[in-house]
Structure 1
């Protein structure tokens, strides 16, 4: 069993995370002070690791920055981390049925963190009379064409994808393949979204 981090280490890690989050929101310490009710001097001391934050202070800062409380602890070492290593030809094979349409996909990775979900799949579409499904979701979607040719629709725009082509889209707008031009079409898709 490893030793717990010292309070100095915790304060420094929390301060570093706070500073990164504040800057990612394009806020000065003074602006964050006005939003959170925590003095700019205290925010500065916290960010430099020169003070320990109470739970009330952390809660006020998390609400002002609109981030989960756990975001402040992301740089503190943990006893575990997850990884997925899928060998060639392996993965979890699934079949999706949508009305008359069906296609197979292989799940290659799924990672769920406190504020992010990431999923990667290899998908094979077979040309058939029924159309593949359209999707509306959250986050972003990346598609990389591996074999064959198909038409991808994003909103009202159509894109012909050939091997080596890729497209990335905001998932909030309707998207998906509308036609498989060759007998089969295989692609890699990656979706990431805030939980």
Structure 2
């Protein structure tokens, strides 16, 4: 023993392994689909995704993009926050989210980490902090749906595509647009980017939690 002891933070949150993330996401998609009484074909028809892709997601053979999860959330009629890692129930507060108790969504294949900044429960909007590794993206196709989105770039660069036009945003820049506008985003640089991201829930979305 060198007498220094363990200097790691005692309140640091534990995170799932990549395999555990894939398995939990797949199980969540399967259970939500079954709860809605939908077949894989039904979900494929609603999302435009292939039967094979949905089956692979449910069996943890593929990792979804943000776009794919958004399509699934709309088809399954749940907020995207349903796919996040769960918090310790003992630490959940009604109105407050502590830094060390944020719910995470780690999309390793897309290079994106999404942290929920809004508490679990009823609300009209969701607030996230996105970390985009170099080359990270929301997916390869545009997405559009009912609602509104806004955000603020904390650091790095965000390339936001709106209706086929690219806008490169740097630290301090912000944005807002109707979600019906075809959109996607990526980080085209070699530096990590961090973005505060806001999205409104559709009126038919149930409360998260």
Q: How high is the TM-score relative to the length of structure 2?
A: 0.46
Task: Judging by fraction of residues, say which structure has more strand.
Answer: 1
TM-score, with normalisation over the residues of structure 1? 0.49
